[in-house]
Amino acid sequence: MTGKATVVKNAGSHFLLSALPDWAPFPAVLKGKVRLEGSAATNPVAVGDIVTYEADSAPDAEHPATIVSILDRKNHVIRKSTNLSRQSHVIAANVDRAYVVVTLYFPQLKLPFLDRFLVTCEVYGVPATIVLNKTDIFRKEFPEEMADFRRIYSLAGYPILEVSALTGEGIDALREDMSGGDGCRVSLLCGESGVGKSSLVKALDPSLSPKIGNISLSHLQGRHTTSLYEMYPLSGGGFLIDSPGLRSFGLVDLERDRIAVYFPEMLKAASDCRFTPCTHTHEPGCAVKAAVEEGRIAPERYRSYLGMLEEDKKFR
């Protein structure tokens, strides 16, 4: 028997599948050398991938289902490690919206990380929302920094949700946004280590605790089944892909002269540059540099762009 389902858990060489929007996970393994055409990522199958599988109904079957192919993705989020290996890894596929969780402090915000994540979402067609956690602290202690943060990313055109997993502020708005209205939206939640992502998941749906991550893989006892990425159904509607805290986020397969295209505010201004193409670094009559000087593009975002240019040059 063959069927089609979505990957809802990646546990290394073993997976859980479910025929969304129905939630009834069942285990599967990957057949032979299934690969995505043209992909050099370390993981050929990611959470969110829609796959075809062959089911084995025999009572003594070693594996109830085997993944035989991966359907074309509508989008995905991919990162490159910034260590020497420079390997790429697909975080999630077929995402309706990505939510990147950040904090101003505790841990301190790293704008290059956030901007690389946002650029990647632009490259692969994933709508992105910024979730600023721990706002109960920042509003009291760092109001000017909060205002600066809003300025930077409002100019860039990104929605910002201010939340507190501790007090519950903004959680209802985030939950409603993730539901998508039809209850079928697939959301990705990402962020650096320590930003309170796990606490946000519990605030969004109290039934989701670390224990919920241990969806039964009893037939695989004794094997390595540590889950790196996993999808959960949200009680408020929709599905959430949770990911481990990230320490770095490198860009994948992005040509140096295309980086500026994926800064929405720079793309808008670039149409008025005197020269085409324009790197927005040294050319006379550059509308992007003029927009930075006039405050229509945040200098912080422009510096992130320059940093990406330098990183690209470094690894060529």
CATH code of the domain in which 50 resides: 2.40.50
Is residue 283 included in any domain, yes or no?
A: yes
Give the closest residue to 193 by CA, choosing from 308, 131, 101. 101
pLDDT for residue 225: 31
Q: Are 129 and 117 in contact (CB under 8 A)?
A: no
Domain at 286, CATH number: 1.10.40.50
pLDDT for residue 310: 87
My answer on whether 212 and 110 are in the same domain is yes
User: Angle 7-13-16 (CA atoms, 0-180°, nearest 5)?
Assistant: 30
My answer on whether 277 and 166 are in the same domain is no
Domain at 202, CATH number: 3.40.50.300
Domain stop point among 70, 102, 125: 70
Residue 139 CA to residue 71 CA, distance in Å, equals 45
Q: Are 280 and 271 in contact (CB under 8 A)?
A: no
Is residue 195 included in any domain, yes or no?
A: yes
Q: Where are the alpha helices (DSSP H) in 142-212?
A: 143-156, 171-179, 197-204
Is residue 75 included in any domain, yes or no?
A: no
My answer on whether 111 and 217 are in the same domain is yes
My answer on whether 261 and 285 are in the same domain is yes
My answer on whether 221 and 97 are in the same domain is yes
Q: Could you say which residues of the chain have pLDDT below 50?
A: 84, 210-227, 314-316
Q: How many domains does the chain have?
A: 3
pLDDT for residue 263: 97
My answer on whether 201 and 261 are in the same domain is no
Is residue 86 included in any domain, yes or no?
A: no
Is residue 251 included in any domain, yes or no?
A: no
My answer on whether 191 and 124 are in the same domain is yes
Residue 240 CA to residue 175 CA, distance in Å, equals 10
Domain stop point among 183, 213, 242: 242
Q: Are 140 and 172 in contact (CB under 8 A)?
A: no
What is the extent of the structural domain holding 57? 2-70
Q: Look at phi and psi of residue 194 and say left if phi exceeds 0, alpha if psi is from -120 to 50, else beta.
A: left
pLDDT for residue 312: 61
My answer on whether 127 and 220 are in the same domain is yes
My answer on whether 6 and 111 are in the same domain is no
My answer on whether 218 and 104 are in the same domain is yes
pLDDT for residue 257: 87
My answer on whether 226 and 170 are in the same domain is yes
Helix, strand, coil share (%) of the chain residues, nearest 5? 30, 25, 45
My answer on whether 209 and 153 are in the same domain is yes
